[in-house]
Chains A and B, each alone.
Chain A
Amino acid sequence: AQSVAQPEDQVNVAEGNPLTVKCTYSVSGNPYLFWYVQYPNRGLQFLLKYITGDNLVKGSYGFEAEFNKSQTSFHLKKPSALVSDSALYFCAVRDTRNTGGFKTIFGAGTRLFVKA
């Protein structure tokens, strides 16, 4: 069955340190991969996506993500965390196969806390 896993419910990091939020998926074919962020009382906001090409994609607010096909992972990273990065982060994977119904599946989310 298609699935997206975010193995950490919460990630804690000190301001200025690098951060990583992990995502692995189980979707056949060549799926599209997305990261979204959700701030309190706000809707989900698109951060970045991987469709094809360079495995390292850059997105909004200094975030980047690395696609690893062999490990079926798409980890979100930032070289230097800010307190304002504290939010809920969702990984999403879109099945691009017709047999998969072109569905987008979201992970359960990872809460990031950045301490000053």
Chain B
Amino acid sequence: EAGVVQSPRYKIIEKKQPVAFWCNPISGHNTLYWYLQNLGQGPELLIRYENEEAVDDSQLPKDRFSAERLKGVDSTLKIQPAELGDSAVYLCASSLKSNTEAFFGQGTRLTVV
């Protein structure tokens, strides 16, 4: 069974440019998460979806970040415009239900220069 797939694995962009990340969760998993992980720290939740509904986006900086999960399967996370401080690893995860363990993708390492 394929795990959580994220692309791209690495992205380098100049500040003020837009960037998008894509995530394909494990088939049948209703809950999808986007996390941000800074070096030396644990993941921090950006947004959680239950099917296509964003049920927790309280930590998403909505002035520049947006996300969508059309049809309750794949998801994209966008940053526009990117800032130097956005450099981090962006992790996507999915779980069968919101109260079960999460399965993580390999992440996208973003470098903003």
Contact = CB atoms under 8 A, between A and B. Distances in A.
- The yes or no verdict on A and B being binding partners is yes
A43 B91 contact: yes
Contacts of A34: 101
Nearest to B58: A101
Contact of B43 (A32, A44, A46, A94): A44
Contacts of A32: 99
Contact of B105 (A4, A43, A94): A43
A96 interface: yes
B43 A106 contact: yes
Q: Classify the interface of chain B: helix, strand, loop or mixed.
A: loop
Contact of B107 (A43, A94, A104, A108): A43
Nearest to A94: B99
Interface residues on B, range: 20 to 34
A36 B44 CA distance: 14
B102 A102 contact: no
Interface string A37-77: 00001111110010000000000000000000000000000
Contacts of B44: 106
B36 to A, nearest CB: 11
A104 B4 contact: no
B98 A109 contact: no
A46 B104 CA distance: 9
A104 B91 CA distance: 14
Contact of A108 (B40, B91, B105): B40
List 6 tightest A-B contacts by C-beta distance, closest first. Answer: A106-B42, A43-B104, A44-B104, A46-B101, A43-B106, A106-B43
23 contacts: A4-B42, A34-B101, A36-B104, A41-B106, A43-B104, A43-B105, A43-B106, A44-B43, A46-B101, A46-B102, A46-B103, A49-B101, A90-B43, A92-B42, A96-B99, A101-B56, A102-B98, A102-B99, A106-B42, A107-B42, A108-B41, A108-B42, A109-B42
